[in-house]
């Protein structure tokens, strides 16, 4: 059996795991990162819509099941860098109020065990680490900041600028998006059309491997083993983790250490805990409360393609606008969410959804469309959950929550686009398989009876076990999650006791 050991053993090298490793490297702590995937190769297919979206070249050949037993292909990528290798690198902060309790007609968004102020300096650090480009003074909901953005915002291309003008005429405040790309003198970013959803062939997207794990490995105290899937946690006397067991390219493996951190993503971290049953832990490790796997959230998301038949869209890098006018108030005093441009969609990408439409028609549509993401908050419930079913498979129980807010914001978005000259608006609502913003399966909180982790992501029940990925989110907010995952990882690295 292959064996290894380190002071801190981290499972998973995505946003949470890699950023934590970087933070621990700064403290000179001996870290071993275990990643089930391999390095993503830099190759021609990185920028091929067919390879990425139709053939799903970088996705695992893995399915999960819903409550009815229907299989779906989840939004996960088992790679060094995790989901950030293909993410859209939109890296906004949550707003101050996202850390506080909000009552919606359709559910409660609970308070976090720490405030925006507690995370603020780590947001600044994460923005530096992930080369975030942004600006202040444009977004009426922007939270306060102690440091300016490290890099200036990306300007709109002319087609987008004209759309912004039409939206401003309606009294809206389109702001430039916070983006993590290496766009600076000497930087590698060329503002191409294959950023959002694609791997970057130039290494110029601010993903977790490029910005955090790679530099951490250079420091000498961090090591990485790829092809290692952790399946089980072994505990011993005094309710401490003693080892992690798994599979290394077909061979069993075991890892010992001082502290153990799960960062496998919200579903896989919960699955490791749930699979680790024993006489002491019949519901799985650190799960006396039966809360692990529950409170699974995604965002309520819809993609919109808006077409103005009179204007062809020649944009290359489209993802430069966020509209947050309805974030705190949809006109009825209750929060709505965000409306953002996404990367320019090409005809072949539309084909994954509109399977029967001829490619030539989709290409013509894509040439005149602009694409948006409408995102509102999902609220937690014990019934939305991840579990291991009787066949040993990963089962996700998920019903849409707080969806009235989504319908309202979607209505506002469509009306806004119609008024801006977009006669045709098509929508694609996200289903159970479009769960790349998954979070909440091991929520952090002050009360051990109602949460799995404390405010520094440490298990309430097992002192040397932490979960540092999106699992800890007590609520989902309605902004893209990755910067918050990274900021919290830096906070945990700096403030937690690692002895
Ligand atoms: C197409 C796409 C676009 C996105 N765009 C954005 C965006 O613009 N902005 C934003 O904020 N967010 C975006 N996201 C979401 C963002 O990528 C995730 O929120 C973030 O990466 C989650 O971080 P994590 O650490 O929780 O998990 P991940 O980043 O998914 O990392 C988990 C890691 O753990 C590994 N792992 C899992 N199980 C095991 C195991 N048993 N043993 C060993 N290793 C394991 C995985 O291989 C993976 O490397 C996007 C996601 C996708 C898929």
Residue 463: other Cβ atoms inside 10 A: 14
* Pocket flag, ligand 1, residue 35 (CB < 6 Å): yes
Which pLDDT belongs to residue 349?
A: 85
When mean pLDDT is compared across 71-80, 258-267, 339-348, the lowest value belongs to 339-348
Instruction: Check: CB of residue 346 under 8 Å from CB of residue 366.
Output: yes
Looking at residues 79-104, what average pLDDT do you find? 98
Above pLDDT 70, what percent of the chain?
Answer: 100
CA-closest candidate to residue 286, choices 261, 249, 316, 320: 261
pLDDT band at residue 117, thresholds of 50, 70 and 90? Answer: very high
Cα-to-centroid distance, 304 and ligand 1 (Å): 23
Above pLDDT 90, what percent of the chain?
Answer: 95
Which pLDDT belongs to residue 252?
A: 98
Helix (H) or strand (E) run with residue 6 in it: strand 2-11
* Pocket flag, ligand 1, residue 470 (CB < 6 Å): yes
When mean pLDDT is compared across 318-327, 344-353, 441-450, 453-462, the lowest value belongs to 344-353
CA-closest candidate to residue 176, choices 90, 114, 83: 90
pLDDT band at residue 129, thresholds of 50, 70 and 90? Answer: very high
β-strands 222-226, 31-35 pairing: parallel
* Pocket flag, ligand 1, residue 304 (CB < 6 Å): no
Angstrom distance (rounded) from CA 36 to CA 78:
6
pLDDT band at residue 238, thresholds of 50, 70 and 90? Answer: confident
* Pocket flag, ligand 1, residue 457 (CB < 6 Å): no
- In order, the DSSP letters of 204-267 are -B--HIIIIIHHHHHTSSEEEEESEEEEEEEEETTTEEEEEEEEETTEEEEEEEEEEEE-S-HH
Q: What is the pLDDT of residues 9-47, one digit of tens each?
A: 999 999 999 999 999 999 999 999 999 999 999 999 999
Which atom of ligand 1 is closest in space to residue 468's alpha carbon? 25
Which pLDDT belongs to residue 350?
A: 84
pLDDT band at residue 92, thresholds of 50, 70 and 90? Answer: very high
Looking at residues 398-405, what average pLDDT do you find? 97
pLDDT band at residue 378, thresholds of 50, 70 and 90? Answer: very high
pLDDT band at residue 221, thresholds of 50, 70 and 90? Answer: very high
Cα-to-centroid distance, 224 and ligand 1 (Å): 17
Question: 460: which 2 tokens?
Answer: 């309430």
pLDDT band at residue 494, thresholds of 50, 70 and 90? Answer: very high
Looking at residues 411-440, what average pLDDT do you find? 97
DSSP SS3 for 391: coil
| Range ranked top by mean pLDDT from 49-53, 244-248, 354-358 | 244-248
Residue 166: other Cβ atoms inside 10 A: 17
325 alpha-carbon distance from chain centroid:
23
Q: Which domains does the chain have, with CATH numbers?
A: 2-41+48-495 (3.50.50.60)
pLDDT above 80: residue 93: yes
* Pocket flag, ligand 1, residue 107 (CB < 6 Å): no
CA-closest candidate to residue 126, choices 490, 494, 492, 497: 490
Residue nearest to atom 14 of ligand 1 (CA): 87
Angle, in degrees to the nearest 10, between helices 15-26 and 482-495: 30
- pLDDT, averaged across the chain: 97
* Pocket flag, ligand 1, residue 343 (CB < 6 Å): no
Which pLDDT belongs to residue 347?
A: 85
Cα-to-centroid distance, 192 and ligand 1 (Å): 22
Residue 240: other Cβ atoms inside 10 A: 14
Looking at residues 195-221, what average pLDDT do you find? 97
Which pLDDT belongs to residue 359?
A: 86
Residue 282: other Cβ atoms inside 10 A: 10
* Pocket flag, ligand 1, residue 6 (CB < 6 Å): no
9, 13, 39, 82, best to mutate for ligand 1 pocket (most atoms within 8 Å of CB): 82
Helix extents (H) in 69-223: 116-129, 158-169, 208, 214-218
pLDDT above 90: residue 356: no
pLDDT above 80: residue 104: yes
Cα-to-centroid distance, 499 and ligand 1 (Å): 28
Looking at residues 330-353, what average pLDDT do you find? 91
* Pocket flag, ligand 1, residue 349 (CB < 6 Å): no
pLDDT above 90: residue 354: no
Which pLDDT belongs to residue 189?
A: 97
pLDDT band at residue 284, thresholds of 50, 70 and 90? Answer: very high
Cα-to-centroid distance, 444 and ligand 1 (Å): 19
Which pLDDT belongs to residue 121?
A: 98
DSSP SS3 for 199: coil
* Pocket flag, ligand 1, residue 92 (CB < 6 Å): no
| 351 Cβ contact list (under 8 Å, min separation 6) | 54, 357, 359, 362
Alpha-carbon separation of residue 436 from 84, 195, 299 (angstroms): 10, 16, 9
Looking at residues 164-181, what average pLDDT do you find? 98
The torsion angles phi and psi of 399, rounded to 5 degrees, stand at: -120, 140
């Amino acid at each position: 059996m292959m064996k290894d050991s380190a002071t801190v053993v981290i499972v998973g090298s995505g946003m949470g795991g890699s950023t934590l490793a970087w933070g621990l490297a700064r403290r000179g702590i001996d870290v071993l990162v275990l990643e089930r995937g391999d390095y993503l190769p830099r190759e021609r297919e990185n920028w091929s819509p067919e390879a990425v979206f139709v053939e799903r070249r970088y996705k695992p050949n893995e399915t999960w099941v819903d409550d009815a037993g229907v299989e779906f292909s989840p939004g996960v990528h088992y790679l060094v860098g995790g989901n950030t290798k293909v993410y859209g690198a939109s890296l906004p902060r949550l707003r101050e109020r996202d850390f506080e309790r909000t009552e919606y007609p359709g559910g409660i968004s609970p308070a976090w065990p720490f405030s925006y102020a507690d995370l603020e300096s780590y947001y600044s650090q994460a923005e530096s680490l992930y080369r975030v480009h942004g600006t202040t003074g444009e977004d009426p909901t922007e939270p306060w900041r102690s440091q300016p953005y490290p890099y200036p915002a990306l300007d709109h291309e002319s087609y987008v600028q004209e759309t912004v003008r039409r939206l401003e005429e309606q009294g809206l405040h389109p702001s430039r998006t916070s983006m993590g790309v290496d766009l600076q003198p000497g930087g590698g970013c060329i503002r191409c059309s294959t950023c959002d959803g694609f791997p970057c062939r130039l290494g110029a997207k601010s993903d977790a491997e490029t910005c955090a794990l790679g530099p951490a490995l250079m420091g000498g105290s961090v090591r990485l083993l790829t092809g290692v899937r952790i399946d089980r946690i072994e505990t011993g006397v005094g309710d401490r983790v003693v080892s992690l067991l798994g599979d290394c390219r077909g061979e069993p493996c075991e890892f010992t250490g001082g502290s153990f951190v799960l960062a496998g993503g919200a579903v896989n971290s919960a699955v490791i805990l749930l699979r680790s049953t024993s006489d002491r832990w019949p519901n799985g490790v650190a799960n006396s409360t039966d809360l692990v796997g529950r409170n699974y959230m995604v965002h309520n998301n819809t993609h919109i393609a808006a077409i103005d038949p009179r204007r062809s869209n020649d944009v290359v890098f489209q993802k430069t606008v966020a509209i947050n006018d309805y974030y705190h108030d949809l006109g009825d005093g209750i929060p709505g969410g965000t409306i953002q441009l996404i990367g320019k969609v090409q005809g072949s990408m539309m084909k994954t959804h509109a399977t029967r439409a001829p490619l030539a028609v989709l290409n013509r549509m894509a040439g005149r469309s602009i694409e948006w993401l409408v995102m509102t908050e999902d609220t937690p419930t014990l019934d939305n959950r991840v579990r291991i079913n009787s066949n040993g498979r990963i089962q996700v129980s998920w019903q849409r929550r707080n969806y009235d807010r989504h319908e309202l914001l979607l209505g506002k978005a469509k009306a806004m686009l119609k008024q801006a000259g977009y006669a045709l608006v098509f929508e694609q609502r996200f289903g159970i398989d479009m769960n790349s913003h998954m979070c909440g399966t091991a929520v952090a909180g002050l009360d051990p009876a109602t949460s799995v982790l404390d405010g520094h992501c440490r298990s309430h029940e097992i002192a040397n076990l932490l979960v540092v990925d999106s699992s800890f989110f007590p609520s989902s907010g309605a902004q893209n999650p990755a910067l918050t995952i990274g900021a919290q990882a830096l906070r945990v690295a700096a403030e937690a006791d690692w002895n």
